[in-house]
Structure 1
Amino acid sequence: MKHDATAVLDTGHDITLGEATKTFARIACLSFGGPAGQIAVMHRILVEEKRWIGEDRFLHALNFCMLLPGPEAQQLATYCGWLLNRTLGGLIAGLLFVLPGFLAIMGLSVVYAAYGETAVVASLFLGLKAAVLAIVIQAVLRIGGRALKNGWMVAIAVAAFLAIFLFAVPFPAIVAAAGLLGFAGGRAGHPAFAGTGKTDMTQTSAGPALGTRFGTSRPSAGSAFRTAAVCLLVWLLPVAALLLAFGPDDVYPQIAVFFSKMAVVTFGGAYAVLAYVAQEAVGTYGWMQPGEMLDGLGLAETTPGPLIMVTQFVGFLAAFRQPGSLDPYLAGVLGACLTTWVTFAPCFLWIFAGAPFVESLRSNRALSAALSAITAAVVGVILNLAVWFALHVLFARVEEVARFGLSLDVPVLSSLDPLAFALFLTAMAAIFVFRLGMLPTLGLCSAGSVAAFLLG
């Protein structure tokens, strides 16, 4: 399909809502492999195949979404849908991106609750955990390869990793520091931060500049305020109703409040947020055991959609184990639906209220440099998650060691699980040597773990 840049300026474009809906439904069904794979699918279809969005505009939107709390891939789909067909297009694109994974995780959560404690199912999830660890490492390398373009960006990533790993610096503080550094470097014209503010106001090699009128028109503060008010009501009204009806100690208000807070204070997508969710769900609320978070991530890895859907698994188990007067499975379904609602409703707020302003600042090199620096910092946070996963997958015991004012989780070497280690090496070989896809790797490791169990 060919689009004329002048037509874009005068009349918008000829991409119908129905055509865009079909395309985003296709993207949703192909969105396996975590944020790196999902972003790659969107890029291939929207930029390279359909040629609806230019390369620079796509990366500008991606950097903004990396800055936001929540799942960057789902927010990027919402942003692209908004570019194509404004609010309704963004709403459809964002919901479609979540729907296949929501349905799949719901079914798998029921199966896990019914059979997850049997030995054969436990062995299946051991294989999933080992494969997930290799996939997280691959995500570090893939996102790092895109974001760490020079020594300064590498240094930001390393500093972010050390800050969160050694000193437990909150992620928002890391984001703020990286953003300020990038902004200052862009304003000063430092070569390491230069070249990040390019625009695609005309036809590019990757495709036309779709929605140029959005980038040149001045955003309305009144419209942004009304949009934010509606989104806030949709998001927080159910939370307030649950608190009033059941009180703060009931599991449903706890789920609503906890995951609403998570939606605001956690950044960097699923990989960055999982350590925080695991700590609270296990230590504070007692909803699940430490290894069950990795089981949930294994479920999310095998289904389409954002990896943050693992929170749906957490919400299901929380309500399933505290059902009150309800049937446990019905309680679990309600908990999963509530978790999904409060996790994703804020994503539409950030995009619909912020995207018009971000589009108007696409030519601002300092802002673009800040967004690129934040992306580099996220790489360090994901590396921290990879280390956390490795400790809990490969070792049965991890001890906290305090030295020189620092607190570190150190594995007990004698507790190394030989089977988990062998499965992890298998997954690494499958991904990096034989170039197998995510699903074959997950299947291979799960089958190997079950076979080892059956063989005694």
Structure 2
Amino acid sequence: MIENHTYSLKALTLYFLKLGTIGFGGPVALVGYMYKDLVENRKWISEEEYKQGLALAQLAPGPLAAQLGIYLGFVHYRILGATLAGFAFVLPSFIMVVLLGVVYQLYGGLSWIQAVFYGVGAAVIGIIALSSYKLTLKSIGRFSLDSFKSKWLLWLFFLFAALTTYSTEQEQVLFFIAAGLLYMVIKAPAGWWNRETVNSFCLLPFAFYNYGSTRLTEIAVFFAKAGAFVFGSGLAIVPFLHSGVVTEKNWLTEQQFLDSVAVAMITPGPVVITVGFIGYLAAGFLGALTAALATFLPCYFFTIALAPYFKKIAANKSVKAFVDGITAAVVGALAGSVIVIAKRNIIDVPTIMIAAAAIFSLLYIKKVQEPHIIIIAAVLGIIIKTAGI
């Protein structure tokens, strides 16, 4: 507590506890709530402080809403504030997804549960597809001849990542790093770039090597790796999770994975909390706790490490170019994973219609949010399966 403030650390913690409990609508809605509540209404955070936090959340890896919350906690109460704000924001949704995981394991085999997720799975694919499209527009822009001429390298990263994710159904972490480094070298080479720097990056693969053989160790390593490459939106983590937990490690079935994404969307708080549900299905409560900690700790450490120096970092063109390159590749991987998931789960006319309706609703009906669509899709799934359509 470095200076006098108009709010206490307890008040800030309780605010994020409340937001994590009732904050629906995904990352864009959550950062909007923070602005309205903390900047406009309560005036705890200045406009400039909020903008800096939002910029950091977009620049550094980590789920957007959680990272902004951690930064806003850091602004006046430093590491303790960041820790309590982040913990309070994530805790309610973590508890909810674990409880849903318990129910899912107990009753997931029942026909009515399967009917619910038949409809929900199709809706989730529509939501992810639209999210992939919006992230592409935000990170690279609308595809056109002029756009390709000016950002041809980013488009190549995007297309290569999409094609390799679709064809191999595996995460391409080293390609993401290479894309960031290559774009930085071409667009804004840093003064510190030399042979020693290149050699040091050759050690990166060892940072992701799985040294342990136990399930919890595997979960910790895998989710820490995934959490370190989530840029901007929680749904950007989907290609990592899908290729890892379904294709490579076989912790979840395809349907269970879709159901886990759906669970994250019908609960408040950050969408990335789906990792708790996945961890629970893979290894019980300790699996859920390990997955959540491993995913959010990179975000937390990046924020508290960068926050004191962010103005200088944000102005660094090399850093921005590195992030732009990685982001283009990650969004491409998301696009590829959407196709992989869709081809296995959009299996008939009803699922095609539900997915299309989800996209249409989010595009053209302003008051409709993801939780509304999930609930409607669940009801439709029961009706369709009951009627034997």
**TM-score class, shorter:** 0.7 to 0.9
Residue 7 of structure 2 aligns to which amino acid in structure 1? I
- Indicate how the Cα distance of structure 1 residues 128 and 86 shifts in structure 2: closer, same or farther if over 3 A, else same: same
Determine the C-alpha separation between the residues in 2 that align with 1:45 and 1:375: 29
Out of 415, 420, 423, which is 2:351 matched to? 420
Partner of 1:125: 117
How do 1:64-143 residues align onto structure 2 when only pairs under 5 Å count? 64-143=56-135
**Aligned residue number for residue 218 of structure 2:** 254
C-alpha distance in 2 between matches for 1:364 and 1:163 = 27
> Aligned in 2, Cα 1:19/1:269: closer, same or farther, shift over 3 Å?
same
Contact persistence 2:9–2:77 (CA under 8 A): yes
* 2:380 equivalent in structure 1: 448
In structure 2, the CA distance between the partners of 1:391 and 1:311, relative to structure 1 (3 Å rule), is same
After superposition, what is the alpha-carbon deviation per residue over 1:33-60, rounded to whole angstroms, capped at 9, x for unaligned? 3333333333333344445545565454
1:157–1:107 Cα change, 3 Å: farther
Tell me by how many angstroms 1:260 deviates.
3.5
Structure-2 change in CA distance of 1:37 and 1:49 (3 Å): same
1:283 to 221, 230, 247: 247
Percent identity of paired positions between Structure 1 and Structure 2 = 28
How many residue pairs match? The answer is 357
Q: Is the 8 A contact 1:36 1:142 kept in 2?
A: no
State the shift of 1:108 in Å. 0.6
Opposite residue 334 of structure 1, the aligned amino acid is L
| Greater than 6 Å deviation, 4+ residue runs | none
SS at match of 2:252: coil
1:391, distance to aligned residue in structure 2 (A): 2.4
Matches within 5 A, 1:48-59: 48-53=40-45, 57-59=49-51
> In structure 1, what is the equivalent of residue 28 of structure 2?
36
Deviation larger for 175-184 or 344-353: 175-184
Question: Could you tell me which residue of structure 2 aligns to residue 429 of structure 1?
Answer: 360
Distance across 2 between alignment mates of 1:106 and 1:274: 19
Report Cα offsets for 1:318-361 as digits up to 9, x if no partner. Answer: 22xxxxxxxxxxxx223222222222233322222222222443
3-state DSSP of counterpart to 2:6: coil
* Structure 1 position 393 matched with structure 2 position 345: yes
* Root mean square deviation, CA, Å: 3.4
CA distance in 2, matches of 1:438, 1:369: 32
Residue 63 of structure 1 contacts residue 375 of structure 1 at CA under 8 Å; is this kept in 2?
no
Deviations 1:100-125 (A, max 9, x none): 11011011101110111222111101
Q: Tell me how far apart the structure 2 counterparts of residues 382 and 57 of structure 1 sit (CA, whole Å).
A: 31
Q: Does 1:19 align with 2:11?
A: yes
Gaps of 5+ in 1: 1-9, 189-242, 320-331, 395-415
Q: Does 1:383 align with 2:335?
A: yes
Q: Could you tell me which residue of structure 1 aligns to residue 163 of structure 2?
A: 166
For residues 337 and 39 of structure 2, what CA distance do their matches in structure 1 show? 30
Report the alpha carbon displacement of residue 285 of structure 1 after superposing the two structures with TM: 2.8
Name the SS for the 1:361 alignment partner. helix
Q: Secondary structure at the match of 2:241?
A: helix
Mapped contact 2:157–2:179 kept (Cα < 8 A): no
1:111–1:311: structure 2 CA closer, same or farther, 3 Å change rule? same
- Is the contact made by 1:69 and 1:269 (CA closer than 8 Å) also made in structure 2? no
Q: C-alpha displacement at 1:433, in angstroms?
A: 2.9
Report the equivalent of 1:300.
Answer: 264
Gaps of 5+ in 2: 166-170, 191-209
Matches of 1:149 and 1:286, distance apart in 2: 35
SS at 2:354 equivalent: helix
Q: 1:237-268 deviations in whole A, cap 9, x for unaligned?
A: xxxxxx9xxx9444333333333343446656
User: Does the CA contact (< 8 Å) of 1:36 and 1:139 recur in 2?
Assistant: no
Q: Which has the larger radius of gyration?
A: 1
* TM-score, reference length from structure 1: 0.68
Q: Say if 2:121 and 2:345, in contact at 8 Å, map to a contact too.
A: yes
How far apart are 1:274 and its partner, in Å?
2.3
Picking from 358, 371, 375, the partner of 2:310 is: 358
Amino acid aligned to 2:297: A
Instruction: Indicate the residue corresponding to 2:275 in structure 1.
Output: 311
Query: For residues 36 and 322 of structure 2, what CA distance do their matches in structure 1 show?
Result: 26
Contact 1:426 1:445 in 2 (8 A): no
Whichever structure has more helix as a proportion of its residues is: 2
